[in-house]
Amino acid sequence: MDLHSIETYLRPTDWAELTAWQPDWAWLAGGTWLFSEPQPQVRTLVDLQALGWSELAIAADGLTIGATCTMRQLLQADYPAVWLGIEALRNAVRELASFKIHNEATIAGNLCLALPAGTFAPALVALDARYEVWPHGGEPYWLPASAFQLGARQTVLQPGDLLRRIHVPAAALAWQTSYQRLCVATAGIALAIAVAAYHPATQTVRLVAGASFPQPRQWEFFAPLCREQITTALAALPLTDFIADAAASAVYRRQVLGVLLVRSLSDLGLLSEFEPISIHS
């Protein structure tokens, strides 16, 4: 889409050039969302690509993903064989959109957009990721992935702030994972996302739900689990916690989320068999 309100295009090569951020500026990384709808409030585009922030660093302490790293880079990189958890991130790419989006869209951009149906946020919460934020006029700081998204299209970022990089620790990447997603077939809008991460050494199971809530919701258990634990955890939440819109009711989202959570546990061999569950208030 042409953005007819744009008057200025900036392509800095040094972050120091951007000390005069203005409210009508917009950060441009991949641009797959920015160019998908009108942005009448934006007068200046600041292209981040020339800053060299597209790094995807694989090190002994884990995986670091730069602000302009594309989904294709994440999907195609070679990772240590012991990083079983990387499959959750790869599935987050595969479940999102076509290869055309993968070639341009950035992981950080997907997180900053903070759509409830975003595919990356639940996986990164499950994998104990941390984000580095560069606040406008302040000192950089790190925060856990679970504290970044505050609601639908809401994050901790203030005007002018940037999500500079994402770090996933090697210890969490060694966890076994399962990624499940159910969407409206005609539109591809997720109604529920369930990510399970399991650490055999400690018998810890982390379950993270996305798309059914305004922001990811997580639970931790010790294996083995039974269906009643999932049923109880979901039934304890008021229906008002769940999203209800034209795509699906809160009751339906709660029901299918329960199915996906149980399926993810079954996928990891933490349940002996899979049966549909029924949740009642």
How confident is the model over 33-78, as pLDDT tens digits? 788 788 888 888 888 889 999 999 999 999 999 999 999 999 999 9
For the record, the structure tokens of 51 come out as: 């800053």
189-202, pLDDT tens digit by residue? 899 999 999 998 89
Question: In the prediction, which pLDDT does 48 show?
Answer: 87
Phi, psi of 18 (to 5 degrees): -115, 40
CATH 3.40.50.2300 fits 176-267, yes or no: no
Taking alpha carbons only, the member of 58, 192, 177 closest to residue 123 is: 177
Contact 35, 1 (CB under 8 A): yes
Q: Say what the pTM is.
A: 0.92
CA 217 to chain centroid, in Å, comes to 12
- What is the rounded CA–CA span in Å between residue 281 and residue 276? 17
137-194, pLDDT tens digit by residue? 889 999 999 999 999 999 999 998 999 999 999 999 999 999 999 998 766 789 999 9
Q: Which of 130-144, 176-190, 226-240, 257-271 has the lowest mean pLDDT?
A: 176-190
Query: What percent of the chain is modeled with pLDDT above 90?
Result: 66
What is the domain partition of the chain in residue ranges?
1-174, 176-267
Question: Which residues 6+ apart lie within 8 Å of 214 measured at CB?
Answer: 116, 151, 152, 154, 243
DSSP label at residue 103: T
- What is the rounded CA–CA span in Å between residue 236 and residue 147? 22
- What is the rounded CA–CA span in Å between residue 68 and residue 87? 21
Q: Which CATH class is domain 1-174?
A: alpha beta
